[in-house]
Amino acid sequence: MIACNCDYGCPCNVNGRPTTGKCEGGWTWHIESGSYGATVLDELNFSIFADWPGAIHEGGGQAISFIDERADDSQRRALTELAQGGAGGPWGLFATTYQLEGPDPVPYQVDVANGHSYYRVGDVAELRVEPITNPVTGDEIHPRLLLPEGLLVRDLGLFASQKFKVKGNIGYDHSGRYAAVGAFANSGS
């Protein structure tokens, strides 16, 4: 699940500039099924929330990260390696654009349900997704973004964030802005 301060759709997805000139947003990954090496990570979660002074690729950002407190020691090491970019993939690329704090273990509540997805990351972050509504008719619309070369996902359902708040050293409230839900697959760097 993704949310940020941009308008619906987030121009950064297609190499545009952030709507407001800077990027404040985050990602939460719910691992339905997967492993890092021999370490099984099924049903665990991790998150990164960041604040960049401009576009992500320009760097200079600050970020905080969290991992699922249910993880055992080997799972915490694996999730930490992923979040800090040591495993490569998108996290390795993002790690070059910010200074990262953490990850810290916290409780997670996650419900991946497309236009009604939700997460709570400890007492630090919360996202509640809702469908975008047509401003003229009030009808729900269901846009998608296909990214065949996408770094994080290839097919995103685009939504609004009914609620998106992050507290702490990185903090913002971008409720009513961009949110997206999509399946992510990574097989290593």
**Tell me: the pLDDT tens digits for 94-111?**
999 999 999 999 999 999
Rounded to two decimals, the pTM is 0.95
Q: Indicate the residue type of 20.
A: T
CB-based contact 148:142 (threshold 8 Å): no
Mean pLDDT, the chain, as a whole number? 94
Note the pLDDT of residue 43: 97
Long-range pairs, 116-124, Cβ under 8 A, ≥24: 117/1, 117/159, 117/181, 119/1, 119/28, 119/30, 119/45, 119/47, 121/28, 121/45, 121/47, 121/66, 122/66, 123/167, 124/49, 124/64, 124/66, 124/166, 124/167, 124/168
pLDDT tens column, 40-95: 999 999 999 999 999 999 999 999 999 999 999 999 999 999 999 999 888 999 99
Q: What is the pLDDT of residue 188?
A: 61
Tally of CB atoms within 10 A around 21: 10
Output the pLDDT for position 103: 97
Question: What is the rounded average pLDDT of the residues 170-189?
Answer: 88
Looking at residues 135-159, what average pLDDT do you find? 92
Q: Please state, in angstroms and rounded to a whole number, the distance separating the CA atoms of residues 61 and 36.
A: 27
pLDDT score at 189: 45
In this prediction, what percent of the chain has a pLDDT beyond 90? 86
Q: What is the pLDDT of residue 187?
A: 73
**Greater model confidence, 189 or 183:** 183
d(CA 121, CA 68): 9
Task: Name the band, by pLDDT with cuts 50, 70 and 90, for residue 146.
Answer: very high
Percent of the chain topping pLDDT 70: 99
